[in-house]
Amino acid sequence: MRKILKLTVMVAAAAIASSAFADDHLPLKKLPDEAERDYWVPEEVNAPGKLDAMQAVVGTEAAKFSGTQDKPIQIVLIYPSADVSDFWARNYLALTKRLDQLGVKYETTEFASRQIEHSLQSTYAAQVEQDADLYDFVVFGPSELATQADNISKLAGNDGFKTFVWAFHTPLKALENQPDNWFDFSSAFGALKMCDFMLERLGKDQTMALNRGIPGITDNQRSGDFKACIEEKGGWTTAYEHYGEYQREGGFDGTNLMMQAYPEATIIHNANTAMAMGSVEAQVAAGKEKEIFSTGWGGTGLELDAIRRGELDATPMRMGDDVGAATAEAIKYHLEGRADELPFVFLGRITIAHDGMSVDEIDTLEKEAFRFSGVGALER
């Protein structure tokens, strides 16, 4: 990291001592199914109490940065923010506004792509690594975790900057170098909450279809864990699974196919915002949005607007700005030499937003979730 701070010798020494996570000490504890996975879950790598403590910090008023700066820190973001989902844009806003509250001076550089543009992300990662002396913190939102594993490891192994990963919470065991911190919402937790909600709402023995994303950890949890739960607990039948690559077009095409070839599937589960919007578009065009119970993922502004219009029925809603706000706090902790107080994996909160809620209830959830980035759909 470039020398940008006037810190006392004691604080600087603490920063050096706590900056590197002890990869060789993972996991901190083992779960019964640990040997069956090629990744760790948060319970295995977070020291007790640290996640709860950081969630409390993120949910309260900012405590000012205690150091001083000669110049702004340089933050570079590599993420698929060119996609329909506003997760990336909102957390960028949450990151920067929380940094403002903390009193940390910063400048940002963004490298945007779509989620299917894996090679483009690799190009961006190589460029950032080559220009390591320009940056202090790298925020990397992988297009898909396994696909970008080598790039994560290379960035994390560069001691010129700190590396954070957004939108994933399952550190891969095979990484030669672990990033400093991970920030996400638990897709597995959201899938199980959605499973319980759907069983309570719709009952047992239903037939559904799924618009899945890209094969990998995220879809395995969002789609796979949901499917396994709902089939086991509710005896549901899956008529068809379509891989829409997290794109609006994929959700649109998959839903048209489902309505034509599998009319018995009266429930459509979508694994992200973009596919949910495409699915809704197809249903509205066919006049079947009232006949099909459809879900989204994430509780973005677009999804909440669709619920208000009666076009989307439910979504696991993330308290969306938590990731960006927590990242800002992590930057402050690293600068203050307090990185050892951070959870290795930060998780935001998730609840279910649905069409059975009043407008006031949805509005209250939205205000809390988007307290930094603002309510309503963002302009693209």
pLDDT bin (cut points 50, 70, 90) of residue 152 is very high
* Domain definitions of the chain by residue range: 9-184+320-348, 188-297
Mean pLDDT of 94-119: 96
Its pTM stands at 0.76
Q: Of the candidates 146, 188, 138, 185, which has an alpha carbon nearest to the alpha carbon of residue 165?
A: 138
pLDDT bin (cut points 50, 70, 90) of residue 20 is very low
- Give me the CATH code for the 188-297 domain, please: 3.40.50.2300
Mean pLDDT of 136-148: 95
238-268, pLDDT tens digit by residue? 999 999 999 999 999 999 999 999 999 999 9
Residue 191 has pLDDT above 50, yes or no: yes
Contact 212, 219 (CB under 8 A): yes
Q: Does domain 9-184+320-348 have CATH number 3.20.20.140?
A: no
Q: Decide whether 9-184+320-348 matches 188-297 in CATH topology.
A: yes
Mean pLDDT of 275-299: 97
Backbone angles phi, psi at 353, to 5 degrees: -100, 135
Which two structure tokens, joined as six digits, stand for 57? 């910090």
pLDDT of residue 111: 96
